[in-house]
Amino acid sequence: MSGAGQTGHVAGRVSGLWRYPASSLAGESLAEMAVNADGAASDRLFGLVDAATGEIARPDASAKWHGVPSIAARLAGDGGLEIRVPAGQWLPALDEAADRAVSAFLGFEASIRPFRHEGAAGAFSPRYKKAPIHLLTTASLAELKRLHPRGNPDPRRFRPNILVDMQPLPGRFPETEWIGRKIAIGELELTVADPCRRCGFTIIAQEGGVDSDADILRTLVRNNAHNLGVYCEVTRPGTVRPGDATRFIG
């Protein structure tokens, strides 16, 4: 393995941090991110459902949900969720006005609700167990751009929690090679557990002007077994900040 995998070696530095307070909605960029054993603090507390059927939003599987990643989400100072549809205003999410705005944007009745683990009235269960931390490197984004020059591998398309800036390594998606390794990022320690297998979500237009592009996924299928980025287990909780070094510790 090259120097990028040597114990103690600085593989790169954090250049972006995101949490996703509402599943499938756009993420929230952070100046620092607290990480506990379950992942980023306040990540995926809420979800979006079809009010008539109870169906949970699945932008990867149904065109009716394709507008969802264009809806912005953030946590207010009091911890309450706020959402904003394109060209709209920020609205408290657990409010009829927010549901009306989302429904008008999507073209059917939809409602934002807390997941059941929050214990609130009207809560529901998520459709999958979230991975603790999703890490992606700029080197892998550069490799995707090399293979698909007309594409836009904007990191928001892939919804990482942590983006690590590192030098491009032509012909390689480096973090895929880190499976089983332990890394330290600031106060945080992680074990790289699994590659992140990509689905149709990556080809859909995203909030912030990220256009739809079916060749993004086709390129990953052909060149990296569907994968981009990695899922990590939390070995030691801590806070991460832009500029923090990413080091191999085992």
Q: Which position has the higher pLDDT, 52 or 119?
A: 52
Give the pLDDT score at 236.
97
What are the start and end residues of each CATH 2.40.33.20 domain in the chain?
3-39+130-248
Q: What is the pLDDT of residues 222-239, one digit of tens each?
A: 999 999 999 999 999 999
Query: Are 36 and 234 a contacting pair, CB within 8 Å?
Result: yes
Question: What's the CATH fold of domain 3-39+130-248?
Answer: M1 Pyruvate Kinase; Domain 3 (2.40.33)
pLDDT for position 125: 53
The two structure tokens encoding residue 144: 């995707």
Compute the CA torsion angle 159, 69, 120, 45 (nearest 10 deg): 10
Could you read off the pLDDT of 71-97 as tens digits, one per residue?
999 999 888 999 999 999 999 998 999
